[in-house]
Chains A and B, each alone.
Chain A
């Protein structure tokens, strides 16, 4: 819409102070054009409506002493315009602001950085590596605690679209990270075909893909940002991972119930590749306390991360373990350590250790008894039972292995249902470590 049309259609509210510079921005006109159109409009309106006008006076002022002149740009009221024009050399005046006289009191002026440029750089160059900043800010909109960051980057984008500045979209630089993520994601993608999906996959379905990748990216950038020349604030990656941590908690808590439901429904067979879900499944079987979710989180992360990240995770586990350690929770924490150790070692647990697990389960009074078995798709299904069913605990685990052994087709040995899942898990771990 042109300024003239906007004025004719009374689109501009002169009840507030209208700055010519604001109109420059909005209608992408030169100052002179805006001035001419506005003056013509005011001339037409003037007898009926009284306007309070301020003018921009430009001229040269001779300073005492030094011979150097002083350029002056001054905003003056209409009543003082003549005085100013008289005292400034080579004076010119243009409209600066207009408002209806006696209108509402204007709020305090705020400074808006300009967008409309009359004179600009021939080539606005992007600093090398500047694009890398965008993904970190952009890719974590849901998980990043710093909310202003995404908006900022959007702001940049809008600026870029307005001007000729090309801000690299996040995707290009994300590609490598995406590629790194692909194996688990790609495998997870098989599940949408079936109704039965692992909790993680469900989460990925629910969330937009970009958001999910963003969260993973935040994890990767935390490790990868150091060598690169990334401009992200140091706190960002950390915040991202912490947010991931908190974000992943609720789905983690919902995992077992959803699986239960699905199991009871006995949905259609799912595709074979369910590695991520298998990774997760051991944790619900062994613990359901709050600390358990952290183990889940680290399981997920370790599945997606490299060896170095696994080392970091090891450290984190130690820290968390030490934090949560109390006399009451001693058995559970020790168990968690054992779980993490077994993962880190990437060794398929033996039968004997399996039995140990069961023994530990029995020892833990606080924990509800769980029923764990592999379904025909290779999922480790955990069915919780009420605590009162304690005596049946001993039977639970053999039960758990029995139906799994009946149903499952991929692992050949029926007895080693759980064992088989573990070996498979280890295999995936080694797969990722090779990657």
Chain B
């Protein structure tokens, strides 16, 4: 029996812990704070890239003048005809049959608008509206025209701030990323799950590799990986049965995690369909939900998004809501692209609170990426995908990982903290 490699661990998710529960506030505070904070962060980058020639102006300073060449910093608002709107639903409900929700409501006709504190201006030119999302803060270089448009010549995003260099230790330290354990459907992949746990424990002849696995992060949807079908019924028994299923699933998960946490440190994030709060940031599961596992210091329930440091490597990730919401509102073709975009934009969830539920913060925006992570992941993806992303200056390297949903793919992702190499490990059972 060998001992597992140990690493320094620091949980940096305190920004995502809610201090209060005041849901009465308007979301404008969040946007205002996001813009103010990102403007402060973008300004030196703007000056560095475009120099001092072009002034940074507010929209109100333009006063409707033509041919003013300047830099504007503002928040993107994407006018989308098909964006879900509760107001429209209500107003139309008497005239139209309810339309099924669209999986993607991005259209070539979408209009891109840049808003600052007071005004807005429509963008055109070197800006691809289909690849942008509402809530993204950027700096745009360009000039005004007679029609009131702002012709963009170049655009600059924050790109997630500075990154600490990653010291190589010449020893393999592996981070295991899993998601979508979907306990309620676990009977469909029992053998894969069985292989996975013995693989974690190093029993499948992989003792050396297992010894270097330093942490397991389960990125959401551990209890359930899909929405509960709400059949309109007057029967209380059905809802009761669903509740019982969830309770049993959590009890089972507790046993799994208690067993796994004796083998390696385990972090559990809540996911979109887990019995946790709906709004981002999702708060950690209460320890009462996992009475056995919670007794072990190696087990911890964490927030979604999650932010931690293992040795020098900064790890940031979500359970995938940010990516899936972005894919609905843009024409981005893959979760990996969406993940990359959020890193480039310097914001974990730009579509929150517009189309992604989020807590109405009034004095901060915790989703701003102030420090560039070394590993950036999104859970519950359809399939595994990874790429080593380099920023425009090629000074920063980030391993992007789309963590596959275990219930769909029976796969997990493994990242080497030293080299940032990433691979998929698949546990399958050949159907007869």
Contact A116 B201 (CB under 8 A): yes
Apart from A21-B198, A111-B194, A124-B297, 11 more pairs, CB < 8 Å: A24-B203, A31-B198, A63-B424, A66-B386, A73-B427, A75-B429, A111-B256, A117-B202, A119-B2, A121-B262, A121-B263
Hey, which bits of chain A sit against chain B, CB under 8 A?
A: 19, 21, 24, 30-32, 56, 58, 61, 63, 66, 68-77, 80, 84, 92, 94, 108-122, 124-127, 130-131, 133, 137, 148-149, 152, 155-156, 159, 163, 165, 167, 231-234
Asked if residues B297 and A119 are in contact (CB atoms below 8 Å), the reply is no
Q: Is B61 an interface residue (CB 8 A)?
A: no
Bound: A84/B429 CA distance, A: 12
Chain B min CB distance to A131 (Å): 8
- Expressed in whole angstroms, the minimum distance between the Cβ of A351 and any Cβ of chain B is 53
- Known A-B contacts A111-B194, A113-B259; the reply to A74 vs B296 at CB < 8 A is no
Contact B291 A231 (CB under 8 A): yes
7 A-B pairs with least C-beta separation: A113-B259, A119-B202, A130-B295, A125-B297, A118-B202, A122-B3, A71-B425
* Known contacts A118-B202, A120-B3, A124-B298, A68 near B423 by CB under 8 Å: yes
Assess the A31–B203 pair: CB atoms within 8 A.
yes
Tell me, rounded to whole Å, the shortest Cβ–Cβ distance linking A392 to chain B: 56
| Residue from the list A75, A109, A121 in contact with B430, Cβ < 8 A | A75
| Residue contact A118 to B291, C-beta cutoff 8 Å | no
B428 contact from A68, A75, A131, A163, Cβ within 8 A: A75
Question: Which residues of chain B are near A75, meaning CB under 8 Å?
Answer: 191, 195, 428-430
Whether the pair B296, A124 counts as a contact (CB closer than 8 A) is yes
Which of chain B's residues has its CB closest to A109's CB?
B190
A127 touches B296 (CB 8 A): yes
B96 at the binding interface (Cβ < 8 Å): no
Would you call B156 an interface residue if the criterion is a C-beta within 8 Å of the partner chain's C-beta atoms? no
Interface size class of B (residues with CB under 8 A): 35 or more
Task: Decide if B152 is an interface residue (CB 8 Å cutoff).
Answer: no
What is the bound-complex CA distance between A115 and B292, given in angstroms? Answer: 14
Q: Is the CB of B194 within 8 A of A21?
A: yes
Q: Which residues of B contact A (CB under 8 A)?
A: 1-4, 6, 186-187, 190-191, 193-195, 197-199, 201-207, 210-211, 213, 251-252, 255-256, 258-265, 287-288, 291-292, 294-298, 384-387, 414, 421-430, 432
In the complex, the answer to whether A68 meets B3 with C-beta atoms within 8 Å is no
Known: A118-B201, A120-B263. A233 touches B428 (CB 8 A): no
Taking the closest CB of chain A, its distance from the CB of B418, in whole angstroms, is: 16
Tell whether, in the assembled complex, residue B430 and residue A68 are in contact, meaning their CB atoms are under 8 Å apart: no
Contact present for A152 and B291 (CB under 8 Å): yes
A60 to nearest B CB, angstroms? Answer: 9
Q: Which residue of B lies closest to A35 (CB)?
A: B205
**Bound Cα distance A137, B295 (Å):** 13
Chain A: CB-nearest residue to B287: A231
User: In this complex, what residue of B is CB-closest to A81?
Assistant: B430
Can you spell out 6 A-B residue pairs with CB atoms less than 8 angstroms apart? A70-B424, A108-B190, A113-B256, A114-B263, A126-B295, A137-B291
Pick the contact of A72 from B3, B263, B428 — CB < 8 Å?
A: B428
Chain B residues near A133: list those with CB within 8 A: 291, 294-295
Asked whether A119 and B195 contact (CB < 8 A) given A68-B386, A73-B426, A114-B259, the answer is: no
Q: How far is the CB of A156 from chain B (nearest CB, A)?
A: 5
Tell me if A113 and B195 are in contact (CB < 8 A).
Answer: no
Out of B264, B425, B430, which one reaches A76, CB within 8 Å?
B430
Tell me the minimal C-beta distance from A210 to chain B in angstroms. Answer: 20
Q: B296 touching A165 by the CB < 8 A rule?
A: yes
Q: Is the CB of A70 within 8 A of B426?
A: yes
How far, in angstroms, from A125 to B294 measured CA to CA in the complex? 11
| A233 proximity list for chain B (CB < 8 A) | 288, 291
Q: Is the CB of B428 within 8 A of A127?
A: no
Can you name the residue of chain B whose Cβ is closest to the Cβ of A120? B263
Contacts of A19 in B (CB 8 A): 194
Distance of B183 from chain A, by nearest CB (Å): 9
Q: Are A71 and B426 in contact (CB under 8 A)?
A: yes
> What residues of B have a CB within 8 angstroms of the CB of A120 in the complex?
1, 3-4, 201, 262-263
Q: How far is the CA of A58 from the CA of B2 in the complex (A)?
A: 21
Inter-chain contact A118/B430, CB cutoff 8 Å? no
Contact B422 A68 (CB under 8 A): yes
Query: Are B190 and A110 in touch, CB under 8 angstroms?
Result: yes
Q: Is the CB of A121 within 8 A of B264?
A: yes
Q: What's the minimum C-beta distance from A29 to chain B, rounded to whole angstroms?
A: 10
Residue of A nearest to B259 (CB): A113
In the complex, are the beta carbons of B291 and A127 less than 8 A apart? no
Tell me the nearest residue of chain B to A148, going by C-beta.
Answer: B251
Report yes or no: B1 in contact with A118, Cβ–Cβ below 8 A: yes
Q: A232 to nearest B CB, angstroms?
A: 7
Q: Which residue of B lies closest to A149 (CB)?
A: B291
Give min CB distance, B298 to chain A, whole Å.
6
Q: Is the CB of A165 within 8 A of B424?
A: no
Q: What residues of chain A lie closer than 8 Å to B190, measured between beta carbons?
A: 108-111
A124 to B292, CA, bound (A): 13
A117 vs B298: C-alpha distance in the bound complex, in angstroms?
15
Q: Write the chain B residue with the least CB distance to A65.
A: B385
Residues of A within 8 A of B4 (CB): 119-122
Q: From residue B410, how far is it (CB to closest CB) to chain A in Å?
A: 9
What's the minimum C-beta distance from A93 to chain B, rounded to whole angstroms?
11
Contacts of B252 in A (CB 8 A): 111
A110–B425 CA distance with the chains assembled, in angstroms = 22
Do the beta carbons of A80 and B430 come within 8 Å of each other?
yes
The docked-state distance in angstroms from the alpha carbon of A239 to that of B199 is 41
Residue contact B424 to A119, C-beta cutoff 8 Å: no
Residue of B nearest to A60 (CB): B423
User: In the complex the two chains form, is A69's CB within 8 Å of B423's CB?
Assistant: yes
B211 touches A119 (CB 8 A): yes
CA distance A79 to B405 in the complex (A): 30
**CB–CB A124/B262 < 8 A:** yes
Task: Output the least CB separation between A149 and chain B (Å).
Answer: 8
Complex interface: chain A residues within 8 A of B292 (CB)? 152, 155-156
Q: Provided the pairs A74-B428, A94-B205 are in contact, do residues A231 and B3 lie with their beta carbons within 8 angstroms?
A: no
Chain A residues with CB below 8 A from B210, complex form: 118-119
Chain A residues near B193 (CB-CB < 8 A)? 111
Are the C-beta atoms of B201 and A68 separated by less than 8 Å? no
Report the nearest B residue to A127, measured CB to CB. Answer: B297
Question: How distant is B231 from chain A, measured CB to nearest CB, in Å?
Answer: 26
CA distance A72 to B426 in the complex (A): 5
Q: A32-B205, A118-B202, A120-B3 are in contact. Are A125 and B298 (CB under 8 A)?
A: yes
Chain A residues with CB under 8 Å of B294's CB are 127, 130, 133, 231
